[in-house]
Amino acid sequence: MEKIIYLDNNATTKVDEKVVEKMLPYFCKEYGNPSSTYTFGGNVQYKIIEARETLRDFIGASRVNEIIFTSCGTESANTAIKGVLTANKTKKHIITTKVEHACVLTLYKNLETQFGYKVDYLDVNSDGSLDLTPLENMVNDQTALVSCMAANNETGVIFPYEKLAEIVKTKNPNTKVFVDAVQAAGKIKLDVKNTQVDLMGISGHKIHAPKGIGALYIKSGTLLSPLLIGGHQEAGKRAGTENVPYIIGLAEACKLASDNLGDEATRVKQLRDTLEAGILKNVYNARLNTNVSNRVPNTTNIGFEYVEGELILLHLSDLGICASSGSACTSGSLDASHVLKAMGVPFTCLHGSIRFSLSRFTTNEEIDYTLKMLPQVINKLNNISPFQKELNDLKKLKA
């Protein structure tokens, strides 16, 4: 296979070989069912307890029994949201943000249209930061749940979820707060115990564990009806025989991610900043969709005015460079990204915005190569753009 320059780590990540190594014994050697009474199964149960301890520390929970394993970030969010609402059927008001991931927004749409919930949506500012101003007035005694992401998947902007939880709890201590930390995990430190957050979800495949594993933090005392009903696994909060190798893999990925939060995150941020600055310098119709410093270190989102994002991606793909546009990947359609729309990104680059997301495996050479090839791709597309006059005006303006 040709060399791949993988700059789409917010979509998914390469599984770290060290993670695979830790998982392998649990397929063909230590394959016992952790619920079995004999030692062959009991040993595996012990390994799951260790993995849960690792997750407790990674999320910054107080207790090991506050962590359950799920199959992905989507399941964590669905378990949290439906679980809390089902356990408290009388309250029908929810608050969230306009820029949540589809796994949350689509569920809320469903709750609105099928089950009579009223959902209020917080706005973001033009730099993608969350506007908490109206929150206090939105929360009332009918508010069952407030949810927000810890970092946005398209822009990387970090949201003040600790502050959000504080405002919510001051107004109504019975309202539950769920945080989708799928894009923050492994990129910034999580420390849920020092917040008033009740539930927090993460996903393995965004942090170099395999697809098919996630986790959910449920603060002790939080009433939650399980999504999957059956056996007594995960303290009755998620039935089904535990996915042992993947649980072990997730724990190892969390350890590695924690080890890499310091110097390695700084290196990734420097690479991201180099990529960003290089594109802005060498492509006259490039526009940074957000420059807030409070972003996860690996993400940038850049608009290319008067050019079609999907075309950029196809040309980059021919060169082995993988990135994504905020549009098609999430919705399966060519609609403009709901996140960029909420930020008020001008229509001139709404459809030409590309997210580049790096990882600890991204190298200097890969960024250099991207910086060499991308201006050529954009130039080629500029030449066939129907907006020649606008592009010329822009070129003169930037000259």
Of 13-21, 46-54, 113-121, 179-187: span binding ligand PLP (CB under 6 A): 179-187
Per CB under 6 A, 209 contacts ligand PLP: no
Q: Which amino acid is at 133?
A: T
CB 227 within 8 A of CB 107: no
Q: How far is the CB of 298 from ligand PLP (least distance, A)?
A: 13
In this structure, the number of other CB atoms found within 10 A of the CB of residue 136 comes to 11
Of 44-52, 178-186, 318-326, 348-356: span binding ligand PLP (CB under 6 A): 178-186
In 8-140, which residue ranges form alpha helices assigned H by DSSP? 17-23, 25-28, 39-59, 73-87, 102-115, 135-138
Q: Which amino acid is at 88?
A: N
Q: How far is the CB of 96 from ligand PLP (least distance, A)?
A: 12
The one among 54, 129, 143, 153 contacting ligand PLP by CB under 6 A:
153
Per CB under 6 A, 182 contacts ligand PLP: yes
The one among 48, 55, 67, 72 contacting ligand PLP by CB under 6 A:
72
Per CB under 6 A, 183 contacts ligand PLP: yes
Element (H, E) at 275: helix 263-282
Q: What are the tokens at 377?
A: 């791709």
DSSP strand pairing (324-325 vs 353-357): antiparallel
CB 398 within 8 A of CB 284: yes
Positions in 313-372 near ligand PLP (CB under 6 A): none
Cα separation, 169 vs 97, whole angstroms: 17
Positions in 102-131 near ligand PLP (CB under 6 A): 103
Of 66-74, 268-276, 310-318, 381-389: span binding ligand PLP (CB under 6 A): 66-74
The one among 84, 149, 251, 378 contacting ligand PLP by CB under 6 A:
149
Q: How many CA atoms lie within 13 A of 185 on its CB side?
A: 34
In this structure, the number of other CB atoms found within 10 A of the CB of residue 186 comes to 31
Per CB under 6 A, 180 contacts ligand PLP: yes
List of residues contacting ligand PLP (CB under 6 A): 72-74, 101, 103, 149, 153, 180, 182-183, 203, 205, 214
Catalytic residues: 329
